[in-house]
Amino acid sequence: MSLLKGLRLPEVKQVPFPYPNRIDKYEVVIERDRCTACGSCVEVCPTYLGKSIVDYEAFEKVGGIIRLFNPNDICEGFKCMKCVNVCPHGAISVRLSKEYLTLGDHRWTSDLILSTWEQAERGKVSWRYEHRVGASGGGFDKLRFDFELDEEGPINYDDFFDPDIDTSITLNKRDDGRPRITIPIPIYGADMSFGSISLNVMLARAKAAQAWDTFVGTGEGGYPEELIPYKEHVITQVATGHFGVNAKTIRRARIVVLKYAQGAKPGLGGHLLADKVTPEVAKIRETVPYVSLFSPFPFHNVYSVEDHYRHVQLIKDINPKALVAVKISTPVDVDMVAIGSYYAGANILQIDGGCGGTGAAPIIAKKNIAMPIEYAIPIVHNYLVREGVRDKIVLMASGGIRTAFDVAKIIALGADGAVIGTAELVALGCKRCRNCERGRGCPSGIATTDPVLSKRIDPKWGAQRIINLYFSWLKQWHYILTMLNLKSIKDLRPKGEVKFVNGRFNHLIHLDYLKG
Amino acid sequence: MKYERAFKRYNIEVKEAPAKVKLPPKYLVKRYANCVNLQECVNACIYGVHIIGEDGRVAEPISEKCRGCFVCVLTCPRGAISVEINPEFAKLGDTYFTPERMETIYFEAETGRVPVSGAGYGGPFAGRGFDGMWFDFSEIVRPTRDGIHGREYISTSVDLGRKPPYLSFKEGRLISEVPRVIEIPVPMILDSPLRNNRYLNLQLAVVKAANKLGTLAVVRKDHYGYYLSRYRGNIILRLSLAEVNEVGKVVKGIKVIEVDLTKSKEPRIKVFKEALATLRDLDRSTLISVRFRYAEGVSKEAYLYFKEGADILHLSVNDLKVKDDPDLAVRAIRKVHGYLVNKGVRDEVTLIFSGGIAEASHIPKSIILGADAVCLGLAYQVALGCKVCYGEEHKEDCPLREGVDDVDWAAQRIINLVNAWRDQLLEVLSGMGLRDVRRLRGEMGRAMFYKELDAKVFGGGT
C-alpha cells in the first residue's frame, strides 16, 4: 500500500519572491534608434503580458526609458523569437541576460538555481531551465537514466502523478525494538545550526518537514525552543562542540545524529565566526556572545570502533526510543568506517560527500578533501552488500544533491535516500554567493543571525516554498519510477552490488563510458 | 643562555600588505537611466555598493564592494540595475592562473590568511593534474590533530641534503661523513624571479622574505652581489654550467649551490660530474643541488645525479607546459619519486619540485606525490603584480618588468602568501592526523585520484 494514501498531501500555493524584479534567463533588447514603436512585437508575443524589457544599450545611448510590456511573466527565449522575426526594423534582439550569465557556478548552474526558484514558487517545472543536471562535468552531471536518452520534448510531470506509486522509505531496518519510522518521501532536511542560519529559516524548514511528515536537522547549535512544536519532525545533532546538547534535547528527538565529520570540511572542526554569535545564539549554545566558537575535530572520546560503539550506546541509553544516525564524510576508507558504524549499532548512516554545504569552511578543504558522494555511495553500498548487512542499515546520502534527479540517481547508486540542505536554501532565495561566513552574513536573510536581515525570510512563506519544491520533486520521482516500470522507490535501489559495464548499470548510464 | 635554548614555536609574522595596483573587481554593477532614485537598493545592499551621494541621489555603484548577491537587482522595481562578471576580471591571467586563482593569491598575499567561504564547493567536478586529486582525511578510528588553531603543534619542517642510510663507527668513533643537512621550517623555497630590467629590489625582497621565513631563496649568479651578502645563509646560488668555473670565492658562506642543467643537452651526467668536482674543490661543506627539466627518461638521470653525489635534486617543470598539460606536473613527480624508491635511495636524497604551483593545495599534493619541498616561482611573482609571464623574463607590459620599488612591502607580501599556504598545509595535515609534513611525502594512499576512482566506480568492465 502506498504511504501517500495515508498522507494528506500538502497544498501547493503560489509563493513568489517578495521582490518587485526578477532574474530572467533572457533579455530582450530593443535598439531605440531603430524602433518606431509600431507595436507589432507586442501583438505576436505569446506571453503578451510579457516581459520586462531592460534596454541597456538604448539607455546608455539615449538616456530614455523604454517599457513596452509589463514585467509579469517570462520570455520564452530562443525557441520563440517571434518578436525578433516580426520587427520590420530589425530593432529587437533576444539574448541571455547578464544576470543569468553571472549567477551560479559549475555545480549549481544558473539554470538549476532559477529552476529551483521556479519549483519553489509554483511547484512545477516549466522546462525553460535545465532542471536535472549542472555543468560540473562529472558525477551526477554525467549520469543519466536510460530513458532520458530517447526522451522527447517538454514533459508535464503533473501527468505522471500517481498515488499508487510509493516513494516512502523506512529509517530503521534493525530489529532493535526501536520505532520503524517511515517517511513518505526519500529525503529529509540536512543539519544546519542556529547561528549558521537564522531562526526564521529553521522554522520554515521545520514547518515544511512537518507538512511532508519528514525530518529536519538542528545541526550543532542547540535546539531552539521555538522548534518544540515541531519536535516530532526534528533531528537533533550531537557534535564535537556539544553546543546546546543536553539530555533534554536528546530525549526530545526521534532521531539523534552523531556528527563525526562534515563533507565541506572533513577532518577539520567547525568554526562559527564571532560576528554571528549574537546574544541569542550564545544563549542557546551556552556560551559567550561575540566570541568565535570552535567545534574541535574529532570526538576526543572516540578513537576506535569500540569507542564508537559506546558512543552510540550512550545516546541509545539516554533516549531508548530514538534512532541513532551517524554522519560521516568520505575518506579513502569510507567503507571501513561505514561497517564500523553498522557494528556500533547505528540505525542510519549518513554519508556526506566532499561537495557538501557549509556556513564557513576553508576553500582548500571544500575543494580538495574527501571524495564526492557519487563515488562514496556505491563503494559503501557494495561493501555493505558483501558483508551481508546492507539490509540492516539505512544509507542516506548528502553533499551536492541538488535536484529530484540527483536524489533518484543516488538511490539507484545504492543509497536509501538523501539529505537535502543547499536545495532548501536555494528554494528560499539563496544565490550561492558564498558570503555566509562574513560580517552580518547573508544578504538574502538566510545564513545570518542579524536581527534586521533575518526578517527578510518569513517562516510561513519559506515553508511553502520548500513544500512546493518537494511537491515538484515528488512528481519527478513518480515520472522516473513510471518510466522505469517501478511501483516503489525502494525498488530503485539495487539489491546487489553496483557494477557498471560499458558505462551502464541497471537503469543508469554514465556518458563518459557509454559504449554501444 | 638557558632561555636562548628554550623551545620556540615557529611563527610567521603577518602584516597587511595591500596590493599597489588592485585587481579589477569581479562584479560590475551598472545603474541605468531608468533609475528614478527610489533608493531601494541603498537599503537592500549590505556591502555598501549603493550609497547616496552628496546631491541626495543614489550615487554610481561602487563595484569594488559588490559580492554578487543580486539583492539590488531583485529589489529595484524599475529593473534599473544589472550585475555582471567584469570583463576586465575575466581577462585576468590565463587558463591555469585563472582569475579566481589570482584573486585568491592576492587575498593571501594581502592578509596572510586562509581563504574561507560559505556554501559548498562550486567548481568543476574534477580537473586535470593537481585538480584531479582529493585528499584523504582521518575519521573516527585515527586521531586527528588540531593544528590550525594552534592547540597542537604540527611540524612543517623539512630537511634538505643527503641523509646516509646508516652511520659507520670504528672503535667507538664515527668514521662516516657527518651528514650536511639544512632544516627549513616550511616546505617551500623561493625561486629566482624571472629576469627584469631592475632585478636588484625584486631579488632583495625575495631574499629578505626567505630570511624572515627561515627558508631559502634561489639567486642567479649574475644577480648575486654585495647587497645580498648579509643574507647568504638563506641563498641557493644558481649557476649555469659556464658560471661554475668562474664562481671562485663568491661561494663563501653560501650553503647551497644549484647547478642549472635545464638548458644543457646530453651528456648531462658527464658535465655535472665535472661541475661537481670543481665545486667540491671550492668548499666541501656546500650542498650541491642539481636543477633539471622533466622529460621522458629523466628519472634515471635523476638517479645518476644522486649517484654522482648531488645532495638535492631539483625537478623543474616548465610552467607553460603545465598550463597546456596540467597532468605533466603530477606525472613528473610521481615518476622521479617512484624511480628513486625502486632504486632504494629515495630517503637518502632530497627532491624539490617546481612548476605549476598556483594554489595552496598544490603544496601538499606535490608532497604526497613524492616531493620533499616545492620551489615557488610564478605564484609569488603574481602576488607582486606579475601578469603571469612564462619563459625567461617578464613581458613588456608586465609591472614586474620594472621590478618593485618597495622592498619591504614586496617581502611582506611573499611572507603573507607563504604563511597562508603554510596554514592551509596545516589544515590538510591536521585533517589527516599527521604531526609532521615529512610523514606526508610519498604517501600516495592519502590521495584519491579522479581518473582512478572514476574508472573504478563508473568505468568498471569493458
Cβ under 8 Å to B: A residues 292-331: 294, 296-299, 302-305, 308, 328-329, 331
CB contact, 8 Å: A414 with chain B? no
Establish, for the pair of chains A and B, how many residue pairs have beta carbons separated by less than 8 Å. 285
My answer on whether A384 and A297 are in the same domain is yes
Question: What is the tally of structural domains in chain A?
Answer: 2
**Contact state of A303 with B138 under an 8 Å Cβ cutoff:** no
Same fold, B27-90 and B158-454: no
B357 phi/psi in degrees, rounded to 5: -85, 110
How far away is chain A from the Cα of B383, in angstroms, using its nearest Cα?
Answer: 18
Q: What CATH number should be reported for the domain holding residue A48? A: 3.30.70.20
**Does residue A227 lie within any of the structural domains?**
yes
pLDDT at res. A202: 96
CATH class as words, domain B158-454:
alpha beta
* Span B27-90 CATH architecture: 2-Layer Sandwich (3.30)
My answer on whether A91 and A182 are in the same domain is no
Is the Cβ–Cβ distance between B190 and B208 less than 8 Å?
Answer: no
Q: Where are the domains of chain B?
A: 27-90, 158-454
pLDDT at res. B414: 98
**Does residue A262 lie within any of the structural domains?**
yes
Instruction: Give this prediction's pTM.
Output: 0.94
Q: Which three cell numbers stand for residue B63?
A: 563595484
- Distance of alpha carbon A116 from alpha carbon A124, whole angstroms: 9
One-letter identity of residue A178: R
My answer on whether A467 and A338 are in the same domain is yes
- On chain B, the residues whose CB falls within 8 A of the CB of A134 are none
My answer on whether A287 and A397 are in the same domain is yes
Last-in-domain residue among A101, A122, A145: A101
pLDDT at res. A67: 40
Compare CB distances from A499 to B27, B75, B461 and report the shortest one's residue. B461
Task: Provide the pairing of β-strand A394-398 with A348-352.
Answer: parallel
CB contact, 8 Å: A89 with chain B? no
- On chain A, the residues whose CB falls within 8 A of the CB of B459 are 500, 503, 510, 512-513
How far away is chain A from the Cα of B407, in angstroms, using its nearest Cα?
Answer: 30
pLDDT in tens for each of the 462 residues of chain B? 455 666 678 889 999 999 999 999 999 998 877 788 999 999 999 999 999 999 999 999 999 999 999 999 999 887 788 899 999 999 999 999 999 999 999 999 999 999 999 889 999 999 999 999 999 998 765 556 666 666 678 899 999 999 988 889 999 999 988 888 999 999 999 999 999 998 899 999 999 999 999 999 999 998 998 899 899 999 999 999 999 988 877 677 899 999 999 998 878 999 999 999 999 888 888 999 999 999 988 999 999 999 999 999 999 999 999 999 999 999 999 999 999 999 999 999 999 999 999 999 999 999 999 999 999 999 999 999 999 999 899 999 999 999 999 999 999 999 999 999 999 999 899 888 888 999 999 999 999 999 999 999 998 754
Q: What is the DSSP string of A425-469?
A: HHHTT------TTSTT--TTSSS---TTGGGGS-HHHHHHHHHHH
**Contact state of A359 with B141 under an 8 Å Cβ cutoff:** no
Interface test with A, best of B66, B84, B86, B141 (most A CBs within 10 A): B141
Is the Cβ–Cβ distance between B289 and B259 less than 8 Å?
Answer: yes
**Contact state of A267 with B121 under an 8 Å Cβ cutoff:** no
**Does residue A131 lie within any of the structural domains?**
no
- On chain B, the residues whose CB falls within 8 A of the CB of A269 are 146, 149
**Does residue A42 lie within any of the structural domains?**
yes
pLDDT at res. A4: 56
SS (H, E, C) chain B: CCCCCCCCCCCCCCCCCCCCCCCCCCEEEEECCCCCCCCHHHHHCCCCCCCECCCCCECCCCHHHCCCCCHHHHHCCCCCEEEEECHHHHCCCCCCCCHHHHHHHHHHHHHCCCCEECCCCCCCCCCCHHHHEEECCCCCCCCCCCCCCCCCCCECCEEEECCCCCCCEECCEECCCCCCEEEECCCEEECCCCECCCHHHHHHHHHHHHHHHCCCEEEEHHHCCHHHHHHHHHEEEEEEHHHHHHCHHHHCCCCEEEEECCCCCCCHHHHHHHHHHHHHHHCCCCEEEEEEECCCCHHHHHHHHHHHCCCEEEEECCHHHHHHCCHHHHHHHHHHHHHHHHCCCHHHCEEEEECCCCCCCHHHHHHHHCCCEEEECHHHHHHCCCCCCCCCECCCCCHHHHCCCCHHHHHHHHHHHHHHHHHHHHHHHHHHCCCEHHHHCCCHHHEEEHHHHHHHHCCCCC
Q: Which three cell numbers stand for residue B116?
A: 574561507
Compare CB distances from A331 to B115, B136, B457 and report the shortest one's residue. B136
pLDDT in tens, A101-127: 999 999 999 999 999 999 999 999 988
Query: CA nearest B458 in A: which residue?
Result: A500
Q: What is the DSSP string of A20-41?
A: SS---SEEEEE-TTT-----HH
**Contact state of A356 with B431 under an 8 Å Cβ cutoff:** no
Q: Crossing angle for the helix pair A305-318 and A334-344, nearest 10 degrees?
A: 40
CB contact, 8 Å: A401 with chain B? no
Query: CA nearest A362 in B: which residue?
Result: B116
Helix (H) or strand (E) holding A336: helix A334-344
pLDDT at res. A66: 45
My answer on whether A213 and A296 are in the same domain is yes
pLDDT at res. B226: 87
Is the Cβ–Cβ distance between B182 and B159 less than 8 Å?
Answer: yes
Interface test with B, best of A21, A311, A349 (most B CBs within 10 A): A21
- On chain A, the residues whose CB falls within 8 A of the CB of B428 are 364-365, 368-369
Query: CA nearest B363 in A: which residue?
Result: A364
Sign of CA dihedral B252, B253, B255, B258: negative
Q: Give the distance from CA B161 to its chain's centroid.
A: 20
Interface test with B, best of A304, A332, A355, A510 (most B CBs within 10 A): A332
Domain residue limits at A64: 26-101
CB contact, 8 Å: A340 with chain B? yes
**Does residue A339 lie within any of the structural domains?**
yes
**Contact state of A267 with B144 under an 8 Å Cβ cutoff:** yes
Compare CB distances from A328 to B30, B139, B432 and report the shortest one's residue. B139
- On chain A, the residues whose CB falls within 8 A of the CB of B138 are 267, 298, 331
My answer on whether A76 and A181 are in the same domain is no
pLDDT at res. A425: 96
Q: What CATH number should be reported for the domain holding residue A218? A: 3.20.20.70
Sign of CA dihedral A414, A418, A423, A425: negative
Cβ atoms within 10 Å, residue A317: 10
CB contact, 8 Å: A29 with chain B? no
- On chain A, the residues whose CB falls within 8 A of the CB of B76 are 20-21
Polymer length of chain B: 462
pLDDT at res. B1: 47
pLDDT in tens, A258-289: 998 888 888 787 777 787 788 888 888 888 88
How far away is chain B from the Cα of A164, in angstroms, using its nearest Cα?
Answer: 33
- Distance of alpha carbon A452 from alpha carbon A97, whole angstroms: 31
**Does residue A474 lie within any of the structural domains?**
yes
- Distance of alpha carbon A430 from alpha carbon A120, whole angstroms: 12
- On chain A, the residues whose CB falls within 8 A of the CB of B119 are 357-358, 422, 430, 432-434, 436
- Distance of alpha carbon A275 from alpha carbon A435, whole angstroms: 13
My answer on whether A175 and A95 are in the same domain is no
**Does residue A480 lie within any of the structural domains?**
yes
My answer on whether A82 and A230 are in the same domain is no
My answer on whether A184 and A44 are in the same domain is no
B12 phi/psi in degrees, rounded to 5: -105, 130
- What's the Cα-to-Cα distance from B43 to each of A119, A432, A452, B251, rounded to whole Å? 28, 21, 11, 65
Query: CA nearest A109 in B: which residue?
Result: B122
Is the Cβ–Cβ distance between B346 and B438 less than 8 Å?
Answer: no
Q: Give the distance from CA B366 to its chain's centroid.
A: 10
**Does residue A17 lie within any of the structural domains?**
no
Helix (H) or strand (E) holding A183: strand A182-183
Residue numbers of chain A with a pLDDT score lower than 50: 1-2, 48-72
**Contact state of B117 with A20 under an 8 Å Cβ cutoff:** no
Q: How many CA atoms lie within 13 A of A216 on its CB side?
A: 29
